[in-house]
Amino acid sequence: MPEHPSAAKVTDPQPLCPSSELNERGQAFVFDVMHFREPARGFVLRFDGQVVAYLNRCLHVPTEMDWQHGEFLDGDKEFIMCSIHGAAYEPLSGRCIGGPCGKGTLTVLKVEEREGQVYWYPSRDTQPVVFE
Ligand code: FES
pLDDT band at 130 (very low <50, low <70, confident <90, very high): confident
Can you tell me the distance from the alpha carbon of 30 to that of 93, in angstroms, rounded to the nearest whole number?
18
Residue 103 three-state SS: coil
For residue 63, the model assigns a pLDDT of 97
Q: Ligand 1 pocket, 33 CB below 6 A?
A: no
Q: Ligand 1 pocket, 100 CB below 6 A?
A: yes
- The whole-number average pLDDT for the span 122-132 is 90
pLDDT band at 132 (very low <50, low <70, confident <90, very high): low
DSSP state of 4: P
Can you tell me the distance from the alpha carbon of 109 to that of 92, in angstroms, rounded to the nearest whole number?
12
Cα of 7 from ligand 1 centre, angstroms? 33
pTM: 0.93
Q: Ligand 1 pocket, 84 CB below 6 A?
A: yes
pLDDT for 73-120, tens place per residue? 999 999 999 999 999 999 999 999 999 999 999 999 999 999 999 999
> Does the CA dihedral 26-78-98-75 come out positive or negative?
negative
